[in-house]
Structure 1
Amino acid sequence: MGDVIAPRICTPERKLPVTARDKSSVPTVGYLTVVEDEQHGLFGGYLLLNSNGRPLEFHCTTPVRANRAQEILYGPTLREYLCGEQIAAALVRKTKLAPRLICTDMTEVLAVRQHVEAPVIAIPAVAAEPPASESTSDAAGQSWRVDAPHAIAAPKSAASFALAGADVLVNDAYPQDQADVAGIWETFEARIDLTEPFGRIHEAISEAQQSQRG
């Protein structure tokens, strides 16, 4: 069958300022999503913010696409494998900071929970009404389209609860996460909208693709 090629991590040329104090003591929340390009495949993006909503780290991946044999053999579990165990896992291993909480807008990314110590929540309502797909072009005049995540039903392995006015999910293999998340989010709720950072990631991924194609 062959393995899916592991995603390569790309980072912005301009490094975000992270001081020694940031690394050791500043509360950090992570936002992780995967966007789909019809031509190239799946791209992951991971943004770490401080409690003021300012960026500390950003990483994105090169595209990942399964071959036809993998699509057949993985069946309905393919997207969870690609998004959670391949793309998201590669991104969380890359960061220097350890977030207290990781937020995603894709339920498939809940599978990354086994790779991190922090709780992971999914906010599927973010993908329920995705913005129009963004079309852009590179210096050679070639165009491509980056799609928003596809809304899907909550997986059987997820537990739902309310947070900041939204229905969120946690991996039910980690039952303590629900109680932990409520306390952790209190650190961030005054300055960070629960769903707004996902828009930043989508724009940053589009910008990264333009830079690489330029």
Structure 2
Amino acid sequence: MASSNNSLGYVVVEGAEGQFRGASLVVDLRGIPMDFRYTDPIRPSRLERILYGSALDVYLREELILQSLIGAVEANPPLWICCEADLTVPLKTAGKGKALCLSASTHAPLEAAGSVEPTGEPEVVLVQADSVSAPLRAAFPPGTRPEEIRQVAEMLVDAARTMELLEPFGRIQKALVSLSEE
């Protein structure tokens, strides 16, 4: 996999109504797609549900879907972003780089773009990506060092100058819906 330092990787893994699927989108810092991968829906059989038990969800989401998506991507971004905190550890492992769960917050804007404020939860901070919007809630894998959190915050601020950071999640969802309609 070639590394692309001027990119961000987004991953969505979902499971609903007995089926699981996922998609990854790598974009440049303007939000322009560089690589898109998706999985076909996976419907575990009754026997698989019995044999895997409570481990089925973890196996399908982390090992089958997430690892295959990240492994197929040709442009390897320095940062992977997901919207589910429980995926940060497997995402960091599979992506061989930095990973975080990014979501909106209702917090008042922080002092300035680039400001990082602890939330009281371990490895969860608020990041002011631009000067006017509410800060984003960034959840990192356990054990993430403060200097790595600062590096990621700087990457997010750089990207926020030319793109909306959460918007690619909506594109991935629309693409998955479009694929299921074909």
Bin the TM-score by the shorter chain. Answer: 0.7 to 0.9
TM-score, normalization by structure 1:
0.63
1:200 CA drift (Å) = 0.4
Change (3 A) 1:25 1:68: closer
Structure-2 separation of matches of 1:48 and 1:31: 6
Correspondences of 1:1-214 after superposition (within 5 Å) = 27-38=6-17, 41-66=19-44, 67-70=48-51, 72-74=53-55, 78-110=56-88, 111-123=90-102, 159-163=123-127, 164=129, 165-175=135-145, 177-211=148-182
Calculate the TM-score normalised by the size of structure 2.
Answer: 0.73
Change (3 A) 1:194 1:37: same
Q: Name the CA distance, whole Å, in 2 between partners of 1:124 and 1:60.
A: 22
**Deviation of 1:173 (Å):** 3.6
**Count of aligned pairs:** 155
After TM superposition, the runs of 4+ consecutive aligned structure 1 residues lying more than 6 A away are none
Structure 2: gaps (5+ residues): 106-120, 130-134
Counterparts of 2:51 and 2:87 in 1: how far apart (Å)?
19
**What is the CA-CA distance between 1:42 and the residue it aligns to?**
1.0
> C-alpha separation between the residues in 2 aligned to 1:112 and 1:162?
20
Distance (whole Å) between structure 2 residues aligned to residue 109 and residue 25 of structure 1? 22
Q: Percent identity among equivalent residues?
A: 23
What one-letter code is carried by the residue in structure 1 that aligns with 2:78? R
RMSD over equivalenced CA pairs, Å = 2.5
Letter of the aligned partner of 2:158 in structure 1? Answer: T
1:92 counterpart SS class? helix
Give the letter for the 2:152 counterpart. V
CA distance in 2, matches of 1:123, 1:172: 15
Kept in 2: contact 1:30–1:49 (CA 8 A): yes
